[in-house]
Amino acid sequence: MAQPVLKWAGGKRQLLAALSRRFPTVYGRYHEPFLGGGAVFFDLEPEDGTVNDANPRLVNFYEQVKSRPEALIDRLRTFKDPESDPDPELAFAETTSRGTEVTNYYYQQRARFNRRPYGHEFDPLEEAALLAYLNRTCYNGLYRENADGGFNVPIGRYADPDWVQADRIREASRVLAGTSIHNRDFEYVLDRASAGDLVYFDPPYEPMSPTADFNEYSAEGFDRDDQERLLDVTSKLDAAGVHVVLSNSGVMYDRYCEAGLVVETEGATRAINSDADNRDEVAEIIATTVPADEQRGSTQAGLTEFSG
């Protein structure tokens, strides 16, 4: 069974069973325009469809997993402990491209990962390996970019981090084999989804409060206009006979209801707060266009949980 290779903010492992109940019993191809860590996609293991993400480095990672899994695993096995000294044979052993002092191996690899956004040439396979390495060794498993697109999460503290994840990469490659991968705006799905297909939208959540800014996980952001555009795309897909399921924060409940969707509230513990004591259960919503009599329902086996 495939599992996500990366940790990712907003991952859906705690909503897998709830989402599964709303999915149609029968559908054609599967499309996920906001892939992120891919918890739902990898658990479903669809044979055909599309996935997409706005983050080009994340998309490159999945392309390398799909087409070059063994080369990616081999490259990951060359990395060293994040707190070891910088490798003098590699770039940025002393300072980053912006002149910041490099104090250990982790920060050297972070500087190497930021070649692309800072205008340097980069090797796609190396970038993918660096993303996986940093994901497993950075603070709290976060992915965060500054205004220039540079990954800026500090080093984490782990006793024995496993950044190779060989089995997960191989299984993910198998599942991705029949799926096309895109780095486009989510509206691409209007051209790719056909009647009877299933589209699952998991957009950056509308913030629950002024201080809960989920948009910071990408330099591009996702604002209220994008949320409205997503509802327009949902309406067009529904009119074309495409099944749609969406998840979002509870503040979108009324707006989704106004749009004619069937909306229900679910609880999910979020593990993206740096303070473990504040990782509380927050209200999330699942909305769908799937008629109740076509849904899998609570009596059907839900998607399985996975451990990050």
- Summary mean pLDDT of the chain: 89
Taking residues 284-307, report their average pLDDT.
73
Residue 45 CA, distance from chain mean position: 16
Q: What is the pLDDT of residue 221?
A: 72
CB 184 within 8 A of CB 230: no
Q: What is the pLDDT of residue 256?
A: 96
Question: Which of 250, 246, 244, 245 has the alpha carbon at shortest distance from 284?
Answer: 250
CA atoms of 270 and 214, how far apart (whole Å): 12
Q: What is the pLDDT of residue 209?
A: 59
Would you state the CATH architecture of domain 64-166? Orthogonal Bundle (1.10)
CA atoms within 13 A on the CB side of 219: 12
CA atoms of 68 and 62, how far apart (whole Å): 10
The model's confidence at residue 268, banded by pLDDT at 50, 70 and 90, is: low
Q: Which residues contact residue 223 at a Cβ distance below 8 angstroms, ignoring those fewer than 6 apart?
A: 215
CA atoms of 153 and 171, how far apart (whole Å): 28
Question: Which residue matches tokens 């891919």?
Answer: 38
CA atoms of 67 and 273, how far apart (whole Å): 34
DSSP 301: P
DSSP 280: -
| 3-class SS of residue 52 | strand
CA atoms of 8 and 90, how far apart (whole Å): 28
The model's confidence at residue 301, banded by pLDDT at 50, 70 and 90, is: very low
Beta strands at 179-182 and 30-32: parallel, antiparallel or unpaired = unpaired
150-166 residue pLDDT tens: 999 999 999 999 999 99
CA atoms of 118 and 75, how far apart (whole Å): 23
Q: What is the pLDDT of residue 282?
A: 57
82-91 residue pLDDT tens: 999 999 999 9
Other C-beta atoms lying within 10 Å of the C-beta of residue 44: 21
Report whether pLDDT(278) > 60. Answer: no
Percent of the chain residues topping a pLDDT of 70? 87
102-121 residue pLDDT tens: 999 999 999 999 999 999 99
Domain-wise residue ranges, the chain: 13-55+183-294, 64-166
Q: What is the pLDDT of residue 272?
A: 40
pTM of the model: 0.88
Domain 13-55+183-294 belongs in CATH node 3.40.50.720: no
